[in-house]
A and B are shown apart, each in its own frame.
Chain A
Amino acid sequence: MKYVSYRTNHLRVCRPGRLLALSGFFLFFFGGHCPAACAQNRQTVSGYVRDLANGEVLIGVTVSVDHRTVGTVTNNYGFYSLNLPPGTYTLRFSFVGFTSRELAVTLGETPVRQNVELSAAATQLQEVSVRALPDSASAGVSALWTNALKSQTIRQMPALFGEADVIRSIQLLPGITTVGEGASGFNVRGGNVDQNLILLDEAPVYNSAHLFGFFFIFNPDAVKDIRLMKGGIPVSYGGRISSILDVRLKEGNSRKQSVSGGIGSIFSRLTYEQPLAGGRGSFIVAARRSYLDILARPFLREELSGSRFYFYDLTAKANLRVNAANTLYLSGYLGRDVFGAGFGLNWGNATATARWNRVFNEKLFLNLTLYKTAYDYGFNSDAQKQQDGFRWQSNIDTHSLKPDFTYYLMPGHTLSFGGQYIRYNTTPGRASITSNQDEKIYLLERQIADELAFYVGNEHVVNERLSLSYGIRYSLFRNRAPGSYYQFEPAGPGQRRPVILPAVQQQSGILHQYGNWEPRFTGSWKLLDKGSLKLGYQRMVQYLHLLSNTAAASPVDVWRLSSPNLRPQRSDQFTAGWVQQIEPGGYEVSLEGYYKLLHNQIDYVKGANLLLNPYVEGDLLAGKGRAYGVEALVRKQKGRFTGWLSYTLSRTERRIAGLNNDRWFVSRFDRTHVLNVVTQYPFSKRVSGSATFTLTSGAPVTLPTSRWEWAGWALPYQEGDRRNTARMPPTHRLDLSLTWQTKKAPFHGRGEWVASLYNAYNRRNAFSVYTRQTENDNLQTEAVRFSVIGSVVPALTYNFNF
């Protein structure tokens, strides 16, 4: 495969004039060709679309006009706006899982504000699980690129230990892989786990895993909507180069008090929702805690009685509709994992988000977000003793202000523009070693940086067949003083670069900066009545890197900011696809190919020391990556039997000078074939079943060819020094679940039992295959398969709400 080389585009200096000129160009180009007169001849209808049952705003509702394809779609805050010539129209509001509603609207001299409430469809079970295509082309081109999952769907899918989990559900979508069962995070189209921006109500989280990767950190009871974008990413998003996972929390029931919860084998969950200010607002509080430690306590041996192992998360959100034009939201998340027995290890994320939605007029909508997010972990060798010990902490804090404007310029043109300011403050490591009462403190210097981004984009419905979305984002990253950085001597390929001391110190100003333009384009062309061609190009840049050279990402991996020695990661992705609807049976088929180039991908010298190493940048290598593949998705959304089938054929490779003899090698999460089948079927009104099947090519692995004896050990050596040349056996797994709604439930509410069987036919899928000396003889060698889940895992969960 020939490698297409790309010129790097690092602008060392941001020139605001150029940016302004560009914005002006955009406004001119998209706004300029509309004569002033045409605006006068038109009037606007706008409003919010909400769920009738609980007042939650609905994201992505299709609004069509007079059964034509002209229309729009509600934004992330449930707001829509349509600009039409005066007259009487029938607006149709349709959304999967909800009964469509039609309303007649007469537009005359004044703008019309029309809020709409939709009621859930009679049978919840027919809810569509994956939405890859909106109900009509009017939704604009962005929706074509988004995979959305609903909390209800995730709850019904069979889950490990019966705990519904967002990440595990996402892994059933095409193009998503993981380094192994139970590993934290996920890999999108050949990207590392740190290349996914996981947003919780706009605030990023840095570690998405409880219990080292078994569970996603968000409580599915508090989650309203999950959208995964791997291509066609709007210009309003930036900061990671592979995907955006946008998680929106429920706002809370604004109609009535409600309590829901569940008892499972790992967690117990409780959620409380209540209206505020006479229905003009609401709040929700959801909590989860693992309770394995409490159950296990009586059975622990004496020496283990001091051990602690638990994890919890708390999610809260409140909203208040101050008046028709202003809505305020507050949301927060706090989660922590604690493990200890003699030693103690804990980690957790916290986020706080305040948002203000302002409808300036029928055409201009603002979402202003202010957030703070923090991730930290700590380690303590022995909590009891003071005179000896080893303590270690690391954290990353982010503050951000983010205005996002949506301007419904005129029919067919929805402009989005805005920006973001992020301030990073990280302490990569602070450790203290106390030895016989002598204490020594190691402090990896605090890093301060900021990231400034501006964007402007247009969703352009050219005609009933052609929709375009285009825009550009400019991001500027600056390492701020006071601070310092090291310079390194050059070294051979793949070799550790020796540090040049002392460090370069600076008390004020900017230490270093990177600027990048990020153009994005997507288009969809409806060539057939039920079939569309879509094309896309996107560039993404990322200034924050997770240093991890282990098989699976771990909670003590260090997040590090770009610096003079650590250039921003960048991706260029080209996509082309076809989406076809097949009316009989309600099938939808989509086929998508992608080619992604990755720049400045991080790898590590041999024997790299990533923890508490002030000169860690000398241990880092940079290289290229490429990922390409074809993803097919067939889904059935109508009828009793629903579900989807996805197949991905892909390759992801890296080329790092000094590794693998400077040749391309497949990365750890490369999977040639991935097949996922997800089905849901209602047996009766109260009983429904779900099954998922997954079949994946084995992961690449580096295995030795030879052994050699030294000091009584048989040690490994690999001829040729090649990386990831062998493959583990393929993995496959069938999971089953049965949901049974009870006739009676506490407080006249609803109750359901979910029984699940994870790994139903008891396969031991390999997480890794490796070699070692045998237990009893260091001169005997053997090959070993390690399975994280080595047996059938049955589970029973009870959920209730009232």
Chain B
Amino acid sequence: MRVTWQSSFSLLACLSVVAGLAGCQDVIDLTLPKGDKHLVVEAWLTDQPGPQAIRLTESADYLDNSPAIPLPDAEVTVEDDRGTRYRFVAQPDGWYVWQPAAPADTLGRIGRAYTLRIHRGAMYYEATSSLRRVPAVDSITYVYKKAGIEQTEGPREGYLAQFYARDFVGIGDCYWIKVFRNGRLYNDDTGDVILSYDGGLSPSLAVDGLTFAEPIRQAINVNKLFSPKDTLLVELHSITPEAYDFLAWVRTEGTQGGLFDPIPTNPPGNIRSLTSNTPPALGFFGTASVRKKRIVLP
């Protein structure tokens, strides 16, 4: 496990690092009980211009490493709270795509609520999410330095970057921060998911209306420094508290097992089944407004 500031706000990650020094991990063969097949919904709609996509797949046995089976045989629509319906057209790979009439058209609008409806065979599913306000990414600063203890990977010298944004006044603004280095999303580990609650570290530590806290600002480095000439893109997504809980679950429970990891629980999702005797659907329907900042390091 890594000491990234964001993930280790829980501290327990830090403890695990220290305690894990003496430990060792071995990949083992394990026979796990089999589960049912569940519908999996991957839906993350934004206010960015252009097409939007939703993916439907089927769950598999945990240690079955073949690609997820796509489910292109459903009907998928999204409706906003003003009655506008958006039709998503199935592709063979399980993605369902909404194409705007004009290239610059957007599906998501700040302040609206969206309902996802899925009809597959005899089963109906529904999920709702609102699209919340988001502040602009004001700037990204950087300093050239030697790698410290937090930088377990990457160059031994390079840039430590931080982004600046200011949270809105009012409790409950949640954010998901995505970082792209040279066009590639930083996503080596579910533990690298960067979340912020009102610009602070967690709901119980809610700062409000301030510049994002330093651990969040610096979390974009994950566990390595940037190199000269790197292109760095920071995306700030506004998310709902439900999405915050879901992504916090992904962050802590995507990988488990240390001394100081919590007891595993099943994911909190927001896909409701409207038909009885239907196995629950997994996944999450999220909507976000996105603001970005891109810089090229010297």
Q: Do A and B bind each other?
A: yes
**B64 surroundings in chain A (CB, below 8 A):** 707
Q: Beta-carbon contacts of B62-102 to A below 8 Å, as 1s and 0s? A: 11110110000000000000000000000000000000000
Interface size of A as a range: 35 or more
- Contact assessment for B215 and A773 in the assembled complex, using a CB-CB cutoff below 8 Å: no
- Contact assessment for B149 and A611 in the assembled complex, using a CB-CB cutoff below 8 Å: no
Among the 9-residue stretches A21-29, A473-481, A783-791, the one with 4 or more Cβ atoms under 8 Å from chain B is: A783-791
Q: Assuming A555-B15, A614-B204, A713-B190, is B257 touching A768 (CB within 8 A)?
A: yes
CA distance A194 to B212 in the complex (A): 37
Q: Beta-carbon contacts of A761-802 to B below 8 Å, as 1s and 0s? A: 000100111111100001111111111111100000000000
Q: Which of B133-171 touch A at CB < 8 Å?
A: 146-151
A721 adjacent to chain B (CB < 8 Å): yes
Which of A555, A704, A769 meets B28, CB within 8 Å? A769
CA distance A607 to B264 in the complex (A): 9
**A552 surroundings in chain B (CB, below 8 A):** 259-260
CA distance A786 to B1 in the complex (A): 12
Closest residue on chain B to residue A304 by CB atoms: B149
Q: Assuming A433-B213, A769-B257, is B204 touching A607 (CB within 8 A)?
A: no
**B147 surroundings in chain A (CB, below 8 A):** 303
CA distance A554 to B25 in the complex (A): 20
| Minimal beta-carbon separation of A325 from chain B (angstroms) | 50
CA distance A234 to B60 in the complex (A): 56
- Contact assessment for B148 and A706 in the assembled complex, using a CB-CB cutoff below 8 Å: no
Q: Beta-carbon contacts of B170-190 to A below 8 Å, as 1s and 0s? A: 000000000000000101111
- Contact assessment for A212 and B267 in the assembled complex, using a CB-CB cutoff below 8 Å: no
- Contact assessment for B255 and A551 in the assembled complex, using a CB-CB cutoff below 8 Å: no
Q: Beta-carbon contacts of B3-23 to A below 8 Å, as 1s and 0s? A: 101001111101100111011
Closest residue on chain A to residue B204 by CB atoms: A613
- Contact assessment for B62 and A704 in the assembled complex, using a CB-CB cutoff below 8 Å: yes
A715 adjacent to chain B (CB < 8 Å): yes
CA distance A770 to B260 in the complex (A): 13
CA distance A422 to B260 in the complex (A): 31
- Contact assessment for B260 and A705 in the assembled complex, using a CB-CB cutoff below 8 Å: no
A651 adjacent to chain B (CB < 8 Å): no
CA distance A690 to B64 in the complex (A): 47
Closest residue on chain A to residue B146 by CB atoms: A303
A708 adjacent to chain B (CB < 8 Å): yes
- Contact assessment for A609 and B203 in the assembled complex, using a CB-CB cutoff below 8 Å: yes
Q: Assuming A212-B19, A309-B18, A717-B38, is B249 touching A607 (CB within 8 A)?
A: yes
Among the 9-residue stretches A3-11, A338-346, A460-468, A676-684, the one with 4 or more Cβ atoms under 8 Å from chain B is: A338-346
| Minimal beta-carbon separation of A495 from chain B (angstroms) | 11
B263 adjacent to chain A (CB < 8 Å): yes
User: Which of A183, A773, A783 gathers the greatest number of chain B CB atoms within 10 Å?
Assistant: A783
Q: Assuming A182-B259, A551-B261, is B10 touching A717 (CB within 8 A)?
A: no
- Contact assessment for B258 and A719 in the assembled complex, using a CB-CB cutoff below 8 Å: no
**A438 surroundings in chain B (CB, below 8 A):** 210-211
Residues of B participating in the A interface, judged by any CB pair closer than 8 Å: 3, 5, 8-12, 14-15, 18-20, 22-30, 32-36, 38, 40, 42, 44, 57, 59-65, 67-68, 146-151, 185, 187-190, 199-205, 207, 210-215, 217, 245, 248-250, 253-268, 282-284
Residues of A participating in the B interface, judged by any CB pair closer than 8 Å: 180, 182-183, 211-213, 302-304, 307, 309, 339, 341-343, 345, 379, 381, 388-390, 431, 433-436, 438, 440, 442, 549-552, 554-556, 604, 606-609, 611-616, 668, 702-713, 715-719, 721, 723, 725-726, 764, 767-773, 778-791
